[in-house]
Amino acid sequence: MNKLFWLLQLLIHCTAYSQEIYKGSFVKGIYGNPERILEAGYAFDELGVNAVFVRRSSLNQEFYQQAKAQGCRVFVEFPTLNGKGYIEDHPEAWPINEKGAPASPADWFMGVCPTDPGFQAFRAKQLRETLRNYPVDGVFLDYLHWHAQFETDQPVLPETCFCERCTRLFGKAHSIQIPGENKADRAKWILGNQEPAWREWRNEVLNTWVSDMGKILRENQPKALLGAFYCAWFPGDHGGALFNILGIDVPSLAERVDVLAPMLFHQMLARPVTWSGDYLDWLNNTIDSPEPLVWPIIQAHNKPGTVTPEEFGKALQEGSRAPASGIMMFSEQSLLENPEKIKVMQDYYQKKRP
């Protein structure tokens, strides 16, 4: 018991220390495959960039060393519940809808059943391998939601997952016997008789993923930060789909991570650029204690439509409002397509001092 107590205290101390070193400095980042910026002849330090957020699939030793040499902290994006490339060979991990059938892709995104033990082991192994190969400054969990597509003004919001495993685990957690001869019958009974408990249980499944990934991070690199990219809807948007469908409760997520990275993609969601600031105002009034760092990711990307350099500059300003102590932009491709955006970012990042 004493050993467990002191281990817990050590983890709390490391987390607090890791957050503390970022206070007083503003994180200015690029998300995606930032190596392409270097290949185009630019330098991070000249651009005012002090952090890169690189997809796990794009991270390599040469880039890691280059970024570090230019004074950047290196954070890796981890595609937590993205099932594409896995479920095709593991049908037992395919999410099941309320009709009892395998869920269709949600636009370009294909999720996974979060309770599948094989997929859990697969992602845990990947994270350990990444941490073994790279002493990163942090890991940012991405695709942190049940199967759905929210990066659009017309979201795809299926009801999942009603596989045998999920309904069994839900029933066990609440000590109930779920009636029904098939998956569709059981799904109908759950949604008709136990919907609030079902939504809460789904959120706990998601929270467990965050806690488990955080434990692996602390065991391997205790001073690294745990961050989370997440859907920045207000709780009432789309009929409460943030919690009911995606499984996200922002206050409980904030208790489990060091950094919240709301995805403030205004153009994708057909929102005015000022919506980013409105969201941060809401977040500032919502998160009390513990208080994570907040580093939003804002849109420079031209899909859908066009984000002009002027609009990109406004997005940087709105996304830097309190409680933000850092910001990053999506993505490097949009910068290379329009050098004016590089100049906008450079001017803003160089002026953004502690």
CA separation (Å) from 125 to 48, 119, 120, 130, 236?
35, 10, 9, 9, 36
Cα gap 151→190, rounded to integer Å: 28
> How much is the mean pLDDT over the chain?
94
DSSP result, 133-193: H---SEEEEES-SSS-B-SSSS-B---B--SHHHHHHHHHHTT-----SSHHHHHHHHHHH
Cα gap 185→14, rounded to integer Å: 48
Cα gap 130→16, rounded to integer Å: 23
**Phi then psi for 320, rounded to 5 degrees?**
-100, 0
Q: Is residue 109's pLDDT more than 70? A: yes
Place of tokens 């595609």: 79
Cα gap 232→265, rounded to integer Å: 9
pTM of model > 0.85: yes
> How many Cα neighbours within 13 Å face the side chain of 201?
21
Q: So what's the pLDDT on residue 303?
A: 87
As a whole number of Å, the CA-based R_g of the chain is 21
Q: What average pLDDT score do residues 204-228 get?
A: 98
Q: Which domains does the chain have, with CATH numbers?
A: 43-54+70-351 (3.20.20.80)
Q: What average pLDDT score do residues 274-296 get?
A: 93
Digit-coded pLDDT (tens) for 21-58: 676 689 999 999 999 999 999 999 999 999 999 999 99
Between 329 and 15, the more confident residue is 329
Place of tokens 């309770």: 115
Q: So what's the pLDDT on residue 289?
A: 64
Q: So what's the pLDDT on residue 8?
A: 43
Q: What average pLDDT score do residues 325-344 get?
A: 97
Q: What average pLDDT score do residues 264-293 get?
A: 94
**CA pseudo-torsion sign 11, 293, 140, 278:** positive
In 3D, which of 264, 350, 351, 259 has the Cα closest to residue 315? Answer: 264
CA separation (Å) from 179 to 84, 184, 311?
32, 11, 54
Indicate the residue type of 22.
Y
Place of tokens 């597509």: 149
In this structure, what token pair is assigned to residue 195?
């919907």
Indicate the residue type of 38.
L
In this prediction, residue 291 has a pLDDT band, given cuts at 50, 70 and 90, of confident
Q: Within the chain, how many helices (H) and strands (E) appear?
A: 14, 9
Q: Is residue 256's pLDDT more than 70? A: yes
